[in-house]
Chains A and B, each alone.
Chain A
Amino acid sequence: MINKKALRGAVGAAGFLLILEILGRVGVIDPYTLPFPSSILVSAAGLLANGEFLLDVGVTLSSCLIGLLLAVVTAVPAGLVMGTLPAVERAVRPLVEFLRPIPSVALLPLAMFLFTVSEQGKIALIVYTACWPLIINTLYGMHDVDPLAKETLRSFGFGPYDVVRLVSLPSAAPFISTGVRISASVALIVAVSVELVAGGEGIGTFVTDAASGNRRDLMIAATAWTGVIGLLINSLLAGAERRIFRWHRAQAGEELVR
């Protein structure tokens, strides 16, 4: 069953490339507009041995990773505090709901002022963007904790710190990991956005450079690789989530992304 699906998918992808190739060769699609898929594939293979590109990929991914880590160490504790103390949540929640819909890229020009090193501005924006899904998902997870489990622990004389450590955090963990997955995909979007607008090093800059060199095949190939990387990160995280939290069917899902 799975194999049949995979086979169909492979046929579909191959067919898509083949059709574009034929349309290009016949002359329906101007090869300047869209280079032949075969030549894009060759360029894409070439990028694997292109030190400059690999370096750019490394820069983009490391910014994402650093930003994501910073966001996790700030947003998750914040969510935990809000989830444990209802008074804090009631007070801070409106602020969160107020700030969350502000598109992070709107802050890009400001970040360019504040951080003269574009790397830092990029990371700052990633932290800002990645924080919201993490806080919201952590909160969701905390609300999902079974009150009975908490009371059971309390009845055995455990303090509030132990309750959080032994019940709340484990029950909220699947939601938090969903938040991480969502944040990871947003982080990649923000990272390349900053690189496209502000320059520096990274995939975005590589694509801009390819554009100025009029190397459309390289632009598309680099973009395609980024898509593959995004797909891989997402499937890895989703797979890990399924494996680690097999006992829990995370209902948080994509619905919480804003």
Chain B
Amino acid sequence: MTRIAVRVAQLWIIPVTFLVWELTTRVAEAIYFPPPSTILVHLYEQWFSGPLVHLFLTQDAFDHLLPSLGRLILGWAAACAVAIVVGVTLGRLAVLADFVNPLIHFFRSVPPPLLIPIFMTLTGVGTPLQLAGIVFGVVWPVLINSLDGARYVDRGYLETCEVFGLSRVQRLTRVVLPSAAPKIFAGLRLSVALALIMMIISEYIGSTEGIGYRMLVAQSQVDIPSMWTAIVILGVLGLVLNAAFLRFERHVLTWHRGARKTD
């Protein structure tokens, strides 16, 4: 058997789980747990049975799925960019970092969903609220990890820079950033999950569109299959984002795994 076949075979538990789920839900006729086949059919009808010109997306998908995704990506990317820049800067300015460190750790400890009602009194309902929520949720872990990564660069690396007269820019881009990268990536990975959580919560509380909003509507109408399709979409989204991120990280940090293996 080829390696791929072996790996696929190792996933046998997933179809088995689906099968067991299908059978038990059919036998038990549980109201809140429709069989997976029902959910899949509903998933197709509700979200992906649109015309070809719309890439098979339905009106529901246009109204709820795309806005959610757009805000998720925009908020996450913007927050990460800011957090990395600020974090690395603070990491290289140790004294300044000492002054803001408690503040950063305090903000990081605030459960970000609590901020949504506060933001809502400022922004009202809608996209700015979602963006603010996602940004606040994402910024702190990325900032703290970037700060730590940039702060604890091995002295051996820095002395090498000094000896060979590397310029400040070179030192930052060729040495400090790569050496902080594993730490930064750890923060980014954490932030993907937080961004998703904040997207969903902010749509539950203050939105008139988005998957979370659609899900809450389904819940209030006791439209169980619709609710489950939203759960499936969010689950797949979490799975895909996580997998894509791991793949990207593995690609960028090849050296890190290699260097660690030989240590």
A residues lining the B interface (CB < 8 Å): 4-5, 8-13, 15-16, 33, 90-92, 94-95, 98, 101-110, 112-114, 185, 188-189, 191-193, 196-197, 203-204, 207-208, 210-211, 214, 216, 219-220, 222-224, 226-228, 230-231, 234, 253-255, 257-258
Contact = CB atoms under 8 A, between A and B. Distances in A.
Contacts of B51: none
A126 B189 CA distance: 21
Nearest to A107: B231
A207 B231 CA distance: 27
B235 interface: yes
A86 to B, nearest CB: 12
Contact of B242 (A4, A231, A258): A258
B235 A204 contact: no
A109 to B, nearest CB: 4
B110 A106 contact: no
Contacts of B120: 211
B167 interface: no
Contacts of B107: 227
B258 to A, nearest CB: 18
B121 A227 contact: no
B114 A192 contact: yes
Interface string B178-206: 00000000100110010011001100110
Contacts of B109: 185, 227-228, 230-231, 234
B151 to A, nearest CB: 13
A227 B106 contact: yes
Interface stretch (B9-17, B38-46, B77-85, B158-166): B9-17
B73 interface: no
> What does DSSP make chain B's interface, helix, strand, loop or mixed?
helix
Contacts of A107: 231
B10 A90 contact: yes
B32 A110 contact: yes
A207 B201 CA distance: 15
Interface residues of B, number: 57
Contact of A254 (B32, B186, B201): B186
B205 A196 contact: yes
Contacts of B10: 90, 94
Given A255-B186, A258-B190, A196 B117 contact: yes
A184 to B, nearest CB: 11
B55 interface: no
Contacts of A197: 201, 204-205, 216
B98 interface: yes
B230 interface: yes
Interface in B1-21: 10-14, 17
A236 B121 CA distance: 34
B218 interface: yes
B227 A103 contact: no
Interface string B100-124: 1111011101111111111011100
B117 A211 contact: yes
B66 interface: no
Nearest to A211: B117
Given A5-B98, A216-B121, A234-B109, A106 B234 contact: yes
Given A192-B113, A228-B109, 8 more contacts: A9-B101, A91-B12, A103-B238, A106-B230, A109-B216, A193-B197, A204-B114, A227-B107
Nearest to A203: B114
Given A16-B103, A110-B32, A207-B114, A105 B98 contact: no
B87 to A, nearest CB: 14
Given A101-B241, A110-B227, A231 B105 contact: yes
